[in-house]
Structure 1
Amino acid sequence: MKDEKETLRKTDESIHVMDGFDPAILSDVPAPVVSLYIPVHHSEREERRDIWDRDMFKDLMKNAERTLAESYGKDAYKGILEKADYLLAHPDMPLWLHAGEGLGFLMGNDDVYVYNLFFAPDPMVAAGDTYFVKPLLRNFQYGTEYYILELGNDRFSWVKGDRTHVQRQQLPREVHDYFSELFANSDDTAADMKKDELGALDYITLEGHMGQYHDHQSRNDVKKEDAAQWFRYVNKAVNDYLVRDDATPIILCCDEEYVNAFRKICTLRHLLPEGIKKDPAGLDGKALLEESLAVMDGIRDANIKQAAERFGADAAHGKASDDFDAIGMALAERRVAALFMVKGKILPGGFDINTGTVTFDGNPNPVDDGYIDPAAPDITDAFAQAALAQDAHIYIVNQDQMPTASPVAALFRYAE
């Protein structure tokens, strides 16, 4: 009984719900592995509690097991099946109950990495020597996660957002302490400390209500000099306590009259050049999400367009290509700066990262109808994993956003 509990504990600890995509987990993974993606049926949740989702997971795992049995002995993937059984036997795990529009599972014998997806993927499973990650790249490519700095001339809040929602963050104690020393509720700071109050610190809720920092004066009475000092304090607090080494982009949301004043003193490295020029007090959660996505999508589309427009001139000088062999060699030599791929496109075949050799599968059907299994290995997925390993930008786009008619294209770091 004790051994069984220990086994269950270790299995539970081997299942990791991921906040972001870390390319390091793709390195040196012992084969075999399973990559599984399912949509989540939110409309059925109250009545059937994810039964559809878990049934879909179970069916896809049966297909994966059948595929694995063709190339491996059962002991070679025993750990994968045990972890899948554990997931199915625990429907009240937070990963099931708090799922977004879809779930992605990267499963090995030692660890399982679970990803909450903002879109509903087609049900899909791939079993073989390497993970299938393109759906995750779509989920975590630039613009899917961001912060919002909601700023007034005497107050601020910190919001985290993604493609589906925005959520006000609880400010850490260090921030409360920092501002309590600067902006106490009374002249008697010591008295406030004794009462365990948080000074005048408050933050904006997504329902549009705002608390005041200065209880002794109205918001309209805050002088420009005080506002400038306040902006410097906010800038320092965000830098020192909220972002530090975090490279997530930040959207500034404030009334247009304060934009220039804050940007003039701002030292936030990842503050985006475009922001929301509206008083955050007038934006509820839905409106804030819409405004934020407009900013993120606009910057992303501009970046894609700019990179695509470079392609023609760079290709003429050997700095870009849509040729598979040329891209494969550039990836092997770690010379790819940006990789374009068509969303949803699967190209059966192989890619050797050591030599740059690309081989194509002669089967014109990229999907195994019997197993709902994408061609594995897939050339574009292998390209994407190699590009991630060298910190290249990856753009998963519609065909009309591609710089050429090819399903893949790349910009190189320097000429061949």
Structure 2
Amino acid sequence: MMNRVTPIPEELLRVQTSPCISIYMQTSRCYPENAQDPLRFKNLVSKAESDALKSVGKRVIAPLIERLRMLQEEKDFWNHTLEGLAIFVSPDYFKVFKLQQAVNEQAYVSDVFFIKPLIRIYQMNERFQVLALTKTEVHLFEGNRYRLDEIEMDREVPKTMIEALGTEITPPHMTIASYGGVAQGSFMRHGHSSRKDEEELDEERFFRAVDHAITERHSKPSGLPLILAALPQHQSVFRSVSRNPHLLEDGIAGDPRLLETDALRELAWKVLEPQWQRKIDGLLARFEEALSKALGSDNPFYITEAALAGNVSVLLLDQQRIYPGGIDAAAGDISFSKMTPGNEHDVLEDLAITVLGKGGEVLVLPPERMPTVSGVAAIFRHE
């Protein structure tokens, strides 16, 4: 069973304490290309500072700029980037996204965060996580059908059995029994369980600790499907103790240490693709049924009205369709505009933000899977 995915943090969809700074930039993974990334980031921060000084003043903006300058000086951070960055900072919020695809470089200062570029990145790609597990080590990967990267795990996630159990690694339990009487001084030691039993107990405790930490620190916050890559015997033990609702029934049976990252990605996508396609098929069937009962629509104007009222359960968008303009929430209508170079305003992305903010689900589909010619389809919660 696949789970509902809203990987964009809910706090980005809520009203924030202003001012809100949003920065997007391309980055490079390798030297020497990435040597220029801090300088380009510095220029974007300077632009944000200049724009903010015009509207909110130095006293308000200075602490935010200082936090961004601190990031600029973190050399280790810039040595471990991907294809892009999205950075959001406000008086009470700071968040950095490492992106697996490039974005247009831009810096915004507003009363709300500018998250439209994240919509298509996170709602279009079939994203997932892979837990590479052995009896002694843990690694977590995240990506999609095109790219997979190891991610830094939360500090609460044990990376090794020793880190998880420490001095509590199960010692052998022994008893002392006398034979022939104490006076004879003859003693024999008897273990309650064999060494193999003790090792299996350690393994189970280790896997339970990993499962709990991954569930709480990664699966629940991201909502992403989790694919387990482990030897068959470890698959069985881990699944017997797991309480992670995002863990898929099918996994990658093999030693993950023997797999290159690209091979791991291909095997993970083979696991996920059938379920992803079944989910899309199910949503398309639901849409056709809803449409026949007046509980769905392909009309952008009707969908906008329903979205603003919180009445859209599922929104499907064509990944290649753009309607220049935006949503006028006050009027409850769409405001179209002419497409000009650098124009970032898109009605469909405004719709996506509105639906996500109201607790709905958004999926961006390739044109061949869209059930409508308008490029948008919605399933309503009720009439």
TM more than 0.5: yes
Deviation at 1:272, TM superposition (A): 0.7
* TM-score of the aligned structures, taking structure 2 as reference length: 0.71
| Matching residue of 1:4 | none
Aligned equivalents of 2:203, 2:281: Cα separation in 1:
34
Q: Percent identity?
A: 22
| Matching residue of 2:80 | 98
* TM-score of the aligned structures, taking structure 1 as reference length: 0.66
Aligned equivalents of 2:329, 2:367: Cα separation in 1:
26
Is 1:273 the equivalent of 2:249?
Answer: yes
Specify the SS of the correspondent of 2:252: coil
| Matching residue of 2:164 | 175
Is 1:251 the equivalent of 2:227?
Answer: yes
Contact 2:165–2:206 (CA under 8 A) maintained in structure 1: no
| Matching residue of 1:342 | 318
Contact 1:251–1:275 (CA under 8 A) maintained in structure 2: yes
Aligned match of 2:100 in 101, 118, 123? Answer: 118
Aligned match of 2:13 in 1, 8, 26? Answer: 26
| Matching residue of 1:360 | 335
Aligned equivalents of 2:347, 2:122: Cα separation in 1:
20
| Matching residue of 1:308 | 284
Specify the SS of the correspondent of 1:28: coil
Residues 241/35 of structure 1: CA separation in 2 closer, same or farther (3 Å cut): closer
Residues 387/334 of structure 1: CA separation in 2 closer, same or farther (3 Å cut): same
Deviation at 1:358, TM superposition (A): 1.9
Aligned match of 1:74 in 48, 54, 62? Answer: 54
Deviation at 1:275, TM superposition (A): 1.4
Residues 256/406 of structure 1: CA separation in 2 closer, same or farther (3 Å cut): farther
Is 1:53 the equivalent of 2:36?
Answer: no
| Matching residue of 1:210 | none
Residues 57/342 of structure 1: CA separation in 2 closer, same or farther (3 Å cut): farther
Aligned equivalents of 1:334, 1:173: Cα separation in 2:
49
Aligned equivalents of 1:134, 1:30: Cα separation in 2:
19
Is 1:161 the equivalent of 2:137?
Answer: no
Aligned equivalents of 1:256, 1:89: Cα separation in 2:
46
Specify the SS of the correspondent of 1:318: coil
Aligned equivalents of 1:353, 1:188: Cα separation in 2:
72
The equivalences for 1:178-217 within 5 A come to: 180-181=169-170, 184=171
Residues 280/117 of structure 1: CA separation in 2 closer, same or farther (3 Å cut): closer
Amino acid at match of 1:144: R
Aligned equivalents of 2:71, 2:133: Cα separation in 1:
39
Aligned equivalents of 1:319, 1:102: Cα separation in 2:
39
Aligned equivalents of 1:410, 1:391: Cα separation in 2:
14
Aligned equivalents of 1:23, 1:120: Cα separation in 2:
23
Specify the SS of the correspondent of 1:162: strand
Specify the SS of the correspondent of 2:253: coil
Aligned equivalents of 2:269, 2:256: Cα separation in 1:
15
Contact 2:312–2:379 (CA under 8 A) maintained in structure 1: yes
| Matching residue of 1:35 | 22
| Matching residue of 1:200 | none
| Ranges in structure 2 where 5+ consecutive residues have no aligned partner | 1-6, 176-192
The superposition leaves residues 263-309 of structure 1 with CA deviations (integer Å, 9 ceiling, x where unpaired) of 57754322112311334353244433442344345543442343234
Contact 1:328–1:353 (CA under 8 A) maintained in structure 2: no
Specify the SS of the correspondent of 2:250: coil
Aligned equivalents of 1:299, 1:56: Cα separation in 2:
44
| Ranges in structure 1 where 5+ consecutive residues have no aligned partner | 1-19, 190-213
| Matching residue of 1:11 | none
| Matching residue of 2:183 | none
| Matching residue of 1:374 | 344
